[in-house]
């Protein structure tokens, strides 16, 4: 059975997925490790995108990636301030 959401902590992977159009479902701070957890809705498409990222197969517009990276950094900062 597939989990409803997948938890990620890697900023670059999160940025890549968000720039590819995958919606961030939720985010929170894991206090015990002082890091942000980002949740994406789990799907076969998400699994394929993660493999594309790992295998350097996915094409992405650099301007979209950089704009998304800024938003993800802001999200992490907001979690840190909680």
Number of other residues whose CB lies within 10 A of the CB of residue 53: 18
pTM of this structure: 0.91
- How big is the chain, counted in residues? 82
- In a structure prediction context, what are the per-residue pLDDT tens digits for the chain, which is 82 residues long? 668 999 999 999 999 999 999 999 999 998 888 899 999 999 999 999 999 999 999 889 999 999 999 999 999 999 888 7
Which pLDDT score is estimated for 32? 85
Question: For the chain, what is the domain count?
Answer: 1
Tokens linked to 58: 């996915």
List all residues 6 or more positions away from 3 whose beta carbon is below 8 Å from its beta carbon: 42
Q: Which residues span the domain enclosing 68?
A: 5-80
Q: Do 14 and 38 contact (CB within 8 A), yes or no?
A: yes
d(CA 47, CA 73): 23
């Amino acid at each position: 059975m597939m989990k409803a959401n997948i938890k990620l902590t890697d900023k670059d992977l999160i940025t890549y997925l968000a720039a590819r159009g995958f919606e961030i479902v939720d985010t929170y701070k894991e206090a015990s490790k002082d890091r942000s957890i980002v949740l994406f809705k789990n799907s076969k498409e998400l699994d394929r995108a993660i493999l594309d990222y790992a295998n350097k197969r996915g094409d992405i517009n650099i301007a979209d990636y950089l704009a998304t990276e800024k938003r993800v950094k802001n999200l992490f900062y907001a979690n840190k301030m909680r």
